[in-house]
Amino acid sequence: MNDTSHYDKCRTLMNIHKARHQKRTIFFSVLTLMNLYLAIALPVKYHLSLIYGNFLSGITFGLFVFIYGAGLLALLLFSIPEKPKLLILTILLIISGIMLNFIHLIVGIPMLVICLSQIPDCRQAVWIQKQDGYPYFNERFDEQMQYFGKEYQPDHALDNLHDAEMLDIPEESTPDFTVSPKTEMPEIPDISEFEVQNHDNF
């Protein structure tokens, strides 16, 4: 029997990582909206004239900022602690966005802090992945695997039941439910004839 003493600790850490990741995603979403506001509300055209000349307008730049921020938010959403490479990519894109003025410095620094705060969780997640019982850490699941060697699978698929056709029942096994013909009841003698016969006997 495998040692399961670490199961509770691993499950607790995984739940903590999930809750922290949700909070980071919420904060990152707020910062993304703030960055979009700063990119549109501030005199972006003056900044663009210094960097890009007159090639881009403020509206076009705001559209780029929106797309860039939406991409970062989607990437952070999938950058769970079990996938540290996506987190590193997010950090690099944030730094590139700050350098290209797609991310305002006031917003970019908190974004970096949010991403860097996930590094300890990533280290713990790497340790958790190496433990026996990952990713379920469930004793009943281990017993299932020990007895059957695989996860439970139903004998019959339950999908597309509305398209399934009923199997034909062979005629030989069909019980005979036909009603047998009624037998005729004997005629009941007339009561008056029965009384006359008895009277003659006496």
pLDDT digits over 164-194, tens only? 555 555 555 555 555 555 555 556 555 555 4
pLDDT score of 53: 47
Question: Nearest CA to 97 among 109, 85, 113?
Answer: 109
DSSP code, position 3: -
- pLDDT at residue 103 greater than cutoff 80: yes
Query: What pTM, to 2 d.p., does this model score?
Result: 0.63
- pLDDT at residue 13 greater than cutoff 50: yes
pLDDT in tens, 42-80: 544 445 444 444 445 666 777 888 899 999 999 999 999
Question: Is the Cβ–Cβ distance between 107 and 34 less than 8 Å?
Answer: yes
Question: Is the Cβ–Cβ distance between 126 and 118 less than 8 Å?
Answer: no
b/e 160-194 (16+ beta carbons within 10 angstroms → b): eeeeeeeeeeeeeeeeeeeeeeeeeeeeeeeeeee
Reported confidence tier of residue 117, pLDDT bands at 50, 70, 90: very high
